[in-house]
Copies of this chain bind each other. A is one copy, B any other.
Amino acid sequence: MVTRGDARREQILYAAMVVFADHGYHRASLAGIAEHVGISQAGLLHHFPTKPRLLTAVLEARDRLDREWLAELDPDGRTGPRLLVNLLRLVDRNRRLGGLVQIYTALAGESVTDDHPARAWFTDRYGRVTASVEAGLLAGADALRPDVDCALLAREVVAVMDGLQLQWLLRPDEVDMVAAFRDYATRLIRSTALDPEPLVALLASAVPVPLPAHAG
């Protein structure tokens, strides 16, 4: 139970997210993060005793945000082919979140080394994420063609999202993640769903090109 009272911890976590995103883990310095918060480097270490501990705390916080967002989705929209509509929404959210997505791409790539402190965490996370997508696909498998391999497909969908994100981060103004993923998902539905067109229509209407923010 991490009750209330530690506003400093959250300040530090947020600053660390930003700095890790900007410089990666190894180049980020505790002093730099501390400066963002307005305290000294030693002051920071009072809240997180070591740098790796800070890193894992950041990753868990980021993951918690994602979970909260997923929990807001309609529960019946998380299975079967309709899953793709929600993943498209996720891609759009990532685009709007901008820099905060970067910590995943930057750290995930960086973690693919023998001794990176986040390597186990990312290995674990990919296991969970792909298993979750696979479960979603299997739950709606009766709406899919019988020859669809849900395990392979789950890895593929996650791969497309990651790969597009990398390209987008390198050239944000030239790469349209949302358009590319919509194109992919549309084709995927047409080639795997038994009754694709209603879902395709849903996909086309979800996430209107530039989200109009003055309606509610």
Q: Which chain B residues lie closer than 8 Å to A115 at the CB level?
A: 23
Q: Which chain B residues lie closer than 8 Å to A111 at the CB level?
A: 170
Per a CB cutoff under 8 Å, which of B22, B106, B170, B180 touches A122? Answer: B170
Q: How many residues of chain A have a CB within 8 Å of chain B?
A: 52
Within 8 A of B (CB), among A141-193: 149, 152-153, 155-156, 158-164, 166-167, 169-171, 175, 179-180, 183-184, 187-188, 190-192
Q: How many copies does the complex hold?
A: 2
Chain B residue at minimal CB-CB distance from A154 = B180
| A79 to B23 alpha-carbon distance, docked (Å) | 39
Per a CB cutoff under 8 Å, which of B162, B171, B183 touches A153? Answer: B183
Chain A interface, >50% SS class: helix
**List of 10 A-B pairs having minimum Cβ-Cβ separation, nearest first:** A109-B109, A159-B163, A163-B163, A162-B163, A191-B191, A26-B26, A112-B169, A152-B183, A159-B164, A123-B170
Q: Which residues of A does B touch, CB under 8 Å? A: 21-24, 26-27, 102, 105-116, 119, 122-123, 126-127, 130, 149, 152-153, 155-156, 158-164, 166-167, 169-171, 175, 179-180, 183-184, 187-188, 190-192
